[in-house]
Amino acid sequence: MKKIKIKQHIITIYLAIILLILTPLYPIVILLIVLPLIVISLAIHFKKKTIGIIGIFLVLRLILWFRSWSKKGKPAPKVGGKLGTLIDKGENVIAYFYSPACGACNIQEKILNKVQKNFSNIIRINVTRETSVAKNFGIMGTPTTVLIKNSKIQEYFVGVTSESKILNSLGHI
């Protein structure tokens, strides 16, 4: 019985690897189907819960990375308020999405205060109050920093982003 289960998991891993090879143009398939299959199969095969837990976090991180990567170069969504006005004018703007209960947001806030010395168009959006704006931008977690130029998303950072990384990105816009 155990040999059959082990063979099933090995077959699942091989199928996932074949799917990885056959789907280079479809990264969303890899992120949503193949990687979870591999992680689950390895966790079951080695009977280690930690592999499964770490794997799930890695897969979720990859999904966040892919979503942020896929937004670059796309038009910024239509929103109201000061942010919408700046986007409509085609001005360079940083949209910073935060939550009051977010510990990492406090760190990012300090970094953005330093960035604000060099760049004044920073709009802070509280995702708990302005849920429609956050939804339009596809915000999945806070802190998220979005750099917009000529009404298009240039950079989309999820998590705490260093001052130098933001300033370097601002140099490109």
For 10-36, what is the HEC assignment?
A: HHHHHHHHHHHHHCCCCHHHHHHHHHH
Residue percentage of the chain with pLDDT more than 90: 47
To which H or E segment does residue 112 belong? helix 103-115
pLDDT tens column, 14-35:
666 655 555 554 555 555 666 6
Confidence (pLDDT) at 134: 92
Residue percentage of the chain with pLDDT more than 70: 62
Domains detected in the chain: 2-71 (no CATH), 81-172 (3.40.30.10)
If you average pLDDT over residues 107-117, what whole number do you get? 94
